[in-house]
Amino acid sequence: MKNLIVASTSTIYGGTYLEYLEQTLIHHFNDADEIVFIPFARPSGISHDTYTKKAEIFFQKLEKKLIGLHTFKNPIEAIKNAKGIFTGGGNTFLLVKQMHDLKLMAPLRNVLLNGTPYLGTSAGSNLCGITMQNTNDMPIVYPPSFKTLGVIPFNINAHYLDASPTKHMGETRETRIKEYHTQNTVPVVGLREGSWLEVKGETIELKGNLTARIFEQGKEAREISGMVDFN
């Protein structure tokens, strides 16, 4: 039974790292005293060690031990044996390339389908979708495939922004997603900052104070709250 937290961001405006998710994560990782951290997205180009230390500060407050996946001699076995897993944000292209290069996609998918509790933020949430094609990130590397975990039946557009009625923003997120749907059929969920999806088995519920925006090929975009479905 899948047990996932798929969050738009790690930090909301005015808050500290993962603070807004603290109560949710206390419950989510209740039975995991040790969590494997996947730091491969490297936000702002920081090192794996630096990124792990940043995440470690938060999890120490929860009395959880956080271990960077990059420190294991056999990362596939580390994923298979993990009691909990967290993939942080950063550059989705870099994250997906590293996951494919290390042959970690299939092992991670298998443990998530079998109930290992997982937290993804930003790029780590994009990883949960069918593909990474709705990321906002620059293609700084070339992954061998855009395919990702497919543990949710749609793609994520993290940090989703609405068009401003008072200023020009260039191409809006909605415009770009509509362009995507001229060539692709996979639905897209636009997650606004401070929102997350709680996945329990096949049930997916939107959490936080904001609605999410649903995009499907050939249909008008719509707002949802509560349960996420495409019926």
Q: Which of 100, 159, 181, 225 is labelled catalytic?
A: 159
28 is catalytic: no
48 is catalytic: no
Query: Is the distance from CB of 32 to CB of 65 less than 8 angstroms?
Result: no
**Alpha-carbon distance 47 to 201, whole Å?**
34
Angle between helices 105-113 and 92-101 (to 10 degrees): 100
Q: Which of 70, 125, 137, 195 is labelled catalytic?
A: 137
Q: Which of 10, 122, 125, 195 is labelled catalytic?
A: 122
31 is catalytic: no
Name which of 120, 123, 65, 69 is nearest 93 in CA terms.
123
187 phi/psi in degrees, rounded to 5: -65, 160
Query: Is the distance from CB of 91 to CB of 138 less than 8 angstroms?
Result: yes
Active site amino acids:
122, 137, 159
